[in-house]
Structure 1
């Protein structure tokens, strides 16, 4: 479910269009893309909206059918400068990485991999699960203080869960704090990620200093009269202490928020950096097969890529 990100998603300029300091509702259509053999709806990054807090990538995958031996089929590939957050609503995936991790991800279990200065991983069929697969993968941009640090992996199956409006639904805390409940996953900037299982309309508490977005996975959610459904997301700006989510039938959505990320980022392929030189170096390491990204014990072949487009445009390699 990882990437890749290209210029169509994140233009080469570092600057974003800014972060509204007042509440708003900006509705945008996700871009359909292919990752491995799956169709995904890419809500982030988008032109004009590269980050929400430190969240810089959101791919809603599936639903699609998988077998014991054929699933995402995404071979080993590298990351720098980010965390991958993988959350399934249906099915199972096998995660392998260059730290030696082999972890089956199931609904209710959160995978978080910190790339730091370099890590590689693969996402594969489990060898035993056959059925429907659906979920979302998110990236979190790491701040300067930790983005060159060591790679790490964590998997959490005990996540805090809060009731919404006396039975209107439930909120599962993936990352950060919500309603006095703190999720166990590492986060290096003020951040929150919530899975909302909505049975009827609910008012959800927010932090005024955070900006937020709603990404709908199932059903329809209304925000200030704007209907959001799979393939449409709503950016809410800053300055709210709550938001009303209107629901006519059961729906599932992700609420992503955080303090506006203070550092301009540059995204290309599976890398989050600050300069083209950093990406050039990461690409060169992956192409050379040196030790920076380690090795993944996977039967799938490593994923190659061309040089960054700015190298091809100038003839420099």
Structure 2
């Protein structure tokens, strides 16, 4: 799902780790804890938001990570996110269970299913809706955003669908939906080098993965206890590894399977302003995007066949929005 908070928080990110929220192990793995975020009203679906946070705003160009479920879906109480806008980013949808119907202002009508990736490019402006299907009984997955570099942040709207073939390496099953890993290359187009992969480890399995030394990486644990470079990560935690590492060792410390999502990319050096569903470079960018959405301008187009009203934009904060920054690298 997308960010449907009615009062989206503004984070001013600095060099200090947020007390109690994350910590750096002796191995050099920074452990990031998620925060619980309700999306919607009294019966809102809750998600665990790992990015952005005070300790880290981006991993490569990955700028937003929501992790949700498994949650049982009953009649009338599944995911129902009305048409809403995006600018300056790409959305990456990846499910572990359930099914979501996607419609956008390109005219795309597609489904998000386990093991299948949907990537949507917002660029200058796009709108879409997301609704869990009647066949869904358990909803479980991740919603990720990628910041577009300045030269491409007004790119044309686009939608790509990809079903990666699983590969097995030393007791691990890997599905690479973006980038390159374990000899597998995703054909999906991105505007910066990226890595995105689901890795499921058998009980007690250990796998060594060769990675790009120019990339920073984040390993999000969905289930099981996974040791990354000597640091144990519990479910919902994300382990961050700075650039300079050419191999990552993952060990499943659990008696059952462990599922993880590995994200990576070269450090994204541009400062961004991210508010609600917009990414810009200035306060004025956000103000303009919000005004365009509220005035129903052609910038975002129209989502057909959604049985309801679109989402209104939240009120802007009574302050100038400022860029989010990662901690300085040592």
Q: Normalising by the residue count of structure 1, what TM-score does the alignment of the two structures yield?
A: 0.89
- Higher mean alpha-carbon deviation, 50-59 vs 195-204, is at 195-204
Q: Which residue of 1 aligns with 2:67?
A: 60
Taking a change above 3 Å as real, the CA distance of residues 266 and 312 of structure 1, as seen in their structure-2 partners, is closer
Say whether residues 1:121 and 2:128 are aligned partners: yes
Say whether residues 1:149 and 2:155 are aligned partners: yes
Contact preservation (8 Å) 2:169, 2:182: no
1:194-237 Cα distance to aligned partner (Å, 9 max, x none):
11011112222211110001101111212244321222111111
Structure 1 unaligned residues grouped into runs of 5+: none
Q: Which residue of 1 aligns with 2:184?
A: 181
1:157-210 Cα distance to aligned partner (Å, 9 max, x none):
2x1433222xx1111111011133211222110111111011112222211110
Q: How does 1:13-92 map to 2 (within 5 A)?
A: 24-36=28-40, 37-67=44-74, 69-92=76-99
Aligned residues: 306
Say whether residues 1:218 and 2:223 are aligned partners: yes
Say whether residues 1:206 and 2:223 are aligned partners: no
What is the CA-CA distance between 1:48 and the residue it aligns to?
A: 2.8
Contact preservation (8 Å) 1:9, 1:46: no
Q: Which residue of 1 aligns with 2:285?
A: 278
What is the CA-CA distance between 1:24 and the residue it aligns to?
A: 2.1
SS in 1 for 2:302: coil
Q: Would you identify which runs of 4 or more consecutive aligned residues in structure 1 move more than 3 Å? A: 4-10, 15-18, 67-70, 310-313
Q: Which residue of 2 aligns with 1:309?
A: 317
Q: Which residue of 1 aligns with 2:303?
A: 296
1:42-97 Cα distance to aligned partner (Å, 9 max, x none):
11111131100000011001111224654211111100000000000001010111
CA distance in 2, matches of 1:30, 1:54: 19
Contact preservation (8 Å) 2:120, 2:157: yes
Taking a change above 3 Å as real, the CA distance of residues 205 and 7 of structure 1, as seen in their structure-2 partners, is farther
Q: Which residue of 2 aligns with 1:171?
A: 174
Taking a change above 3 Å as real, the CA distance of residues 296 and 253 of structure 1, as seen in their structure-2 partners, is same
CA distance in 2, matches of 1:10, 1:24: 28
Taking a change above 3 Å as real, the CA distance of residues 111 and 193 of structure 1, as seen in their structure-2 partners, is same
Taking a change above 3 Å as real, the CA distance of residues 16 and 118 of structure 1, as seen in their structure-2 partners, is farther
Contact preservation (8 Å) 1:12, 1:266: no
Structure 2 unaligned residues grouped into runs of 5+: 18-23, 322-330
CA distance in 2, matches of 1:73, 1:8: 19
SS in 2 for 1:300: coil
Q: How does 1:219-234 map to 2 (within 5 A)?
A: 219-234=224-239
SS in 2 for 1:293: coil
1:93-151 Cα distance to aligned partner (Å, 9 max, x none):
1011111111111111110000010001111132x413101000100001112111111
What is the CA-CA distance between 1:309 and the residue it aligns to?
A: 0.8
Say whether residues 1:104 and 2:117 are aligned partners: no
Q: What do you get for the CA RMSD once the two structures are aligned? A: 2.4
What is the CA-CA distance between 1:156 and the residue it aligns to?
A: 1.5
Contact preservation (8 Å) 2:86, 2:125: yes
